[in-house]
């Protein structure tokens, strides 16, 4: 009988904690400030540089970014800790790491891969510009598309809304 009561108390504690934990994980994944009030954030002020990116048919947010004066297509991925460039995109942007530069070990969904850490002097998406963005160049077969990850996103403000992903500075 005591075991059943302990199990019931444990189940009750889990039932109370899980919704709060889910909200915190969702806030992190969507880039919301967990310390902010539950009310939706105010839209960026008119003086701020802002843009809204509508999701593609697949629900993903694709953007064209200017890096070093050249353009490349990126997928905005808040789950990626780093901005990651496919080697072919990096080459088009004038970035060609030597074989020996592929010294970083990166954990991906498909396992551990080697990447070349680089610093992008300037990344511009629309009117938003971020300087000195840390990135990693990976072999093309690792990614289908280059990613703008948290090394870029933490340097601007962003939120997901019904109309799309809103970015502003």
Q: Is residue 44 in some structural domain?
A: no
pLDDT tens-digit readout, 9-40: 444 344 444 444 344 444 444 444 443 333 34
What are the structure tokens assigned to 20, written together?
């709060």
DSSP state of 109: T
Please indicate, yes or no, if residue 45 is contained in any of the structural domains.
no
The answer on 13 and 59 residing in a single domain is no
Give pLDDT, residue 2: 55
Average pLDDT for runs of 10 along the chain of length 169: 47 42 44 40 61 93 94 93 95 95 89 95 95 96 94 93 91
SS3 sequence of 122-145: EEEECCEEEEEEEEEEECHHHCCC
| 20 and 99 both lie in a single domain | no
First to last CA, the chain: 59
- Residue 68 pLDDT: 87
SS3 for 44? Answer: coil
* Tally of CB atoms within 10 A around 38: 6
**How many domains is the chain partitioned into structurally?**
2
**Same domain, yes or no: 151 and 79:** yes
Q: What's the pLDDT score for residue 141?
A: 93
pLDDT of residue 108: 80
- Shared domain check, 74 and 127: yes
Domain-located, residue 1: yes
* Domain boundaries, position 19: 1-39
pTM for the model: 0.70
Alpha carbons 83 and 108: distance in angstroms, whole number:
13
């Amino acid at each position: 009988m005591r075991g059943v009561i302990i199990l019931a108390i444990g189940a009750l504690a889990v039932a109370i904690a899980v919704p709060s934990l889910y909200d915190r994980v969702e806030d992190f994944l969507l880039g919301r400030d967990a310390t902010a009030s539950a009310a939706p954030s105010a839209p960026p002020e008119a003086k701020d540089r802002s843009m809204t990116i509508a999701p593609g048919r697949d629900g993903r947010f694709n953007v064209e970014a200017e890096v070093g004066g050249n353009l490349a297509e990126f997928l905005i991925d808040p789950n990626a800790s780093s901005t990651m460039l496919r080697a072919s995109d990096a080459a088009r942007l004038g970035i060609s790491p030597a074989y020996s530069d592929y010294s970083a070990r990166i954990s991906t969904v498909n396992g551990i891969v080697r990447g070349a850490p680089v610093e992008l002097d300037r990344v511009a998406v629309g009117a938003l510009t971020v300087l000195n963005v840390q990135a990693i160049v990976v072999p093309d077969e690792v990614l289908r598309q280059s990613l703008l990850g948290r090394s870029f996103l933490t340097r601007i403000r962003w939120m997901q809304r019904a109309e799309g992903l809103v970015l502003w500075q």
